[in-house]
């Protein structure tokens, strides 16, 4: 049965982010159950889901509380059109998220995936400036190495060479400015110095291009997809000031770093400032259902509020504000409150740091870094390291997918001390085997 399911998958399912031919040598894994941080495979193997199934799962698989809330919601209302209609879960979720921003961002617009949230923020920004009589502001600027999704509009602000090259003819590429990546420290410098230098480069860009620039889009504190590039929050403080000064929106893409990942609920909280647009997805539904949203300010909202249809925001998705997805998100926020998750994660992050100490001491390991529940390190290794490491990690019972030569942990918020230590030991073992091969 196992072989046939894998064969059927290979012939009928086109898997994401995958050169399908590689599955001639690396077999697919059929998962039959999820239990907390564990994935149970058809052959009986267990894998610790140390990447939260692409950064979405916060409280383990088959979480009893989210399951219960979804069952209740399913019996009353699964989905209803959100144009002209509303429902309790979408209203409550919007109110609770607004409250989490101290009502700085009190208006929520919904979609189903992260890339769509990026596109909504970009479109809203340009349309805002148009409504304000500034139609020339139609360009964007992002950080070197940025990742904001893979639809054609989101690719415009995504600076990943592989994607840029393949789809260049489709994309109206944004400008990029230097990243505040703390690995650029020179001797005697701190991460804050790097951030200040990068902010100076941003200022030079804005001084020249502000009349045609609608928005700066950033991944606050951690540029995840480029390889967990971490930076000092001083960059965000300065970017906020510069964006105000040059009348450019600040878009915070918190699709990966929101929902407690960096130690606070929103990564922007580390900077003490708010963006004009904040994108959320991935963890917001606890990893259960596709849901994304953009939070924005009253100033932006009011610029669209008018008699003319064309001044309104022209955007919709079929599943906008899906009642089940919003319920999963509400259940997720309940767990944050009831279990004081942010406080528990402080302890959990220390367990992860301790578990990584022997890894940091390995001679091939550089730049071991951590921001809350994300821990990463770079490896001096020969080409093909990521695939070799991934295969050895699976053999150790770990789901880990390095990005190039960067290995990272982004586990669900349920690991106990022993599981953190186990994760550390197995990662080191996979590392040694991948380097020896």
Ligand X SMILES: *Cc1c(COP(=O)(O)O)cnc(C)c1O
Q: Report yes or no: 218 and 251 within 8 Å, Cβ to Cβ.
A: yes
- Distance spanning both ends of the chain, measured CA to CA: 32
For the chain, the residue count is 437
In degrees, to the nearest 5, what angle opens at C-alpha 401 toward C-alphas 121 and 228? 50
For ligand X, the binding residues (CB under 6 A) are 113-115, 118, 147-149, 219, 224-225, 253, 255-256, 281-282
3-state secondary structure of 39: strand
Residue 281 CB, shortest distance to ligand X, in Å, is 5
Residue 330 CB, shortest distance to ligand X, in Å, is 20
Q: Report yes or no: 182 and 191 within 8 Å, Cβ to Cβ.
A: yes
Q: Residue 105 or residue 225: which is nearer to ligand X going by CB? A: 225
Residue 298 CB, shortest distance to ligand X, in Å, is 25
Residue 192 CB, shortest distance to ligand X, in Å, is 23
Q: Residue 221 or residue 365: which is nearer to ligand X going by CB? A: 221
Residue 354 CB, shortest distance to ligand X, in Å, is 27
Residue 228 CB, shortest distance to ligand X, in Å, is 11
Q: Residue 191 or residue 221: which is nearer to ligand X going by CB? A: 221
Is residue 125 part of an annotated ligand binding site? Answer: no
Is residue 256 part of an annotated ligand binding site? Answer: no
Q: Residue 199 or residue 224: which is nearer to ligand X going by CB? A: 224
DSSP 46-105: EEEETTHHHHT-SS-BT-HHHHHHHHHHHTT-S---SSS---HHHHHHHHHHHHHTTTSS
Q: Please classify residue 218 by burial: count the beta carbons closer than 10 Å to its beta carbon, then call 0-12 exposed, 13-18 middle and 19+ buried.
A: buried
Is residue 146 part of an annotated ligand binding site? Answer: no
Pairing of strands 213-218, 249-253: parallel
Is residue 190 part of an annotated ligand binding site? Answer: no
Buried b (16+ CB within 10 A) or exposed e, 237-265: bbbbebbeebebbbbbbbbbbbbbbbbbb
Residue 290 CB, shortest distance to ligand X, in Å, is 7
Sheet strands (E) in 208-364? 213-218, 222-223, 229-230, 249-253, 277-280, 292-296
Q: Residue 120 or residue 341: which is nearer to ligand X going by CB? A: 120
Q: Could you tell me how far CA 91 lies from the centroid of its own chain?
A: 24
Q: Which long-range contacts (CB under 8 A, 24 or more apart) does 360-368 make?
A: 362/428, 362/431, 362/432, 364/431, 364/435, 365/431, 367/183
Tell me the residue number closest to ligand X, measured at CB. Answer: 114
Is residue 21 part of an annotated ligand binding site? Answer: no
Q: Residue 407 or residue 420: which is nearer to ligand X going by CB? A: 407
User: What is d(CA 366, CA 225) in angstroms, rounded to the nearest whole number?
Assistant: 18
User: What is d(CA 361, CA 429) in angstroms, rounded to the nearest whole number?
Assistant: 13
Instruction: Tell whether the torsion through CA atoms of 3, 5, 9 and 12 is positive or negative.
Output: positive
Which contiguous run of DSSP H or E holds residue 237? helix 234-245
Is residue 351 part of an annotated ligand binding site? Answer: no
The residues, ordered by sequence, that sit 6+ positions from 3 with a Cβ below 8 Å of its Cβ are none
Q: Residue 256 or residue 359: which is nearer to ligand X going by CB? A: 256
Is residue 115 part of an annotated ligand binding site? Answer: yes
Residue 198 CB, shortest distance to ligand X, in Å, is 18
Q: Report yes or no: 50 and 390 within 8 Å, Cβ to Cβ.
A: no
Q: Residue 118 or residue 419: which is nearer to ligand X going by CB? A: 118
Is residue 114 part of an annotated ligand binding site? Answer: yes
Q: Residue 225 or residue 415: which is nearer to ligand X going by CB? A: 225
Residue 7 CB, shortest distance to ligand X, in Å, is 27
Please give the annotated binding residues for substrate, written as ranges.
54, 147, 282, 316, 401
State the binding site for pyridoxal 5'-phosphate.
Answer: 114-115, 253, 317-318
Please report, in range form, the residues annotated as the binding site.
Answer: 54, 114-115, 147, 253, 282, 316-318, 401
């Amino acid at each position: 049965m196992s072989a046939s399911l894998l064969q059927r998958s290979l012939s009928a399912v086109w898997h994401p982010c995958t050169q399908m031919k590689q599955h001639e040598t690396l077999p697919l894994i059929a998962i039959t159950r999820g239990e907390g941080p564990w994935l149970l495979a058809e052959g009986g193997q267990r894998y610790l889901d140390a990447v939260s199934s692409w950064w979405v799962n916060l409280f383990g698989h088959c979480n009893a509380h989210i399951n219960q809330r979804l069952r209740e919601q399913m019996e009353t209302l699964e989905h209803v059109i959100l144009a002209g209609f509303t429902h309790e879960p979408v209203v409550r979720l919007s109110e609770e998220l607004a409250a989490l921003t101290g009502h700085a961002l009190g208006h929520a617009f919904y979609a189903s995936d992260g890339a769509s949230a990026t596109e909504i923020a970009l479109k809203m920004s340009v349309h805002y400036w148009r409504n304000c009589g500034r139609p020339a502001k139609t360009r964007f600027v992002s950080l070197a190495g940025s990742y904001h999704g893979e639809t054609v509009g989101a690719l415009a602000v995504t600076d990943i060479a592989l994607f840029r090259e393949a789809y260049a003819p489709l994309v109206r590429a944004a400008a990029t400015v230097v990243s505040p990546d703390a690995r650029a420290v020179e001797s005697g410098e701190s991460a804050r110095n790097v951030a200040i230098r990068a902010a100076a480069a941003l200022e030079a860009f804005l001084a020249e291009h502000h009349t045609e620039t609608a928005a700066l889009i950033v991944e606050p504190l951690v540029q995840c997809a480029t390889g967990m590039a971490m930076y000092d929050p001083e960059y965000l403080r300065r970017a906020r000031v510069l964006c105000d000064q040059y009348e450019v929106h600040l878009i915070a893409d918190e699709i990966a770093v929101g929902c407690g990942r960096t130690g606070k609920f929103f990564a922007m909280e580390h900077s003490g400032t708010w963006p004009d647009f904040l994108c959320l997805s991935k963890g917001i539904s606890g990893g259960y259902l596709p849901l994304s949203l953009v939070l924005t300010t009253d100033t932006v909202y009011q610029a669209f509020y008018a008699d003319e249809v064309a001044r309104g925001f022209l955007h919709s998705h079929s599943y906008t504000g899906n009642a089940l997805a919003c319920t999963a998100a509400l259940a997720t926020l309940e767990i944050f409150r009831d279990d004081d998750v942010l406080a528990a994660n402080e302890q959990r992050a220390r367990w992860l740091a301790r578990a990584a100490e022997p890894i940091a001491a390995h001679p091939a390991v550089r730049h071991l870094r951590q921001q809350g529940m994300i821990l990463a390190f770079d490896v001096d290794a020969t080409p093909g390291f990521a695939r070799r490491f991934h295969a050895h990690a699976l053999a150790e019972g770990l789901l880990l997918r390095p990005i190039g030569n960067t290995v990272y942990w982004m586990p669900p918020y349920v690991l106990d001390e022993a599981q953190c230590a186990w994760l550390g030991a197995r990662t080191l073992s996979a590392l040694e085997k991948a380097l020896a091969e």
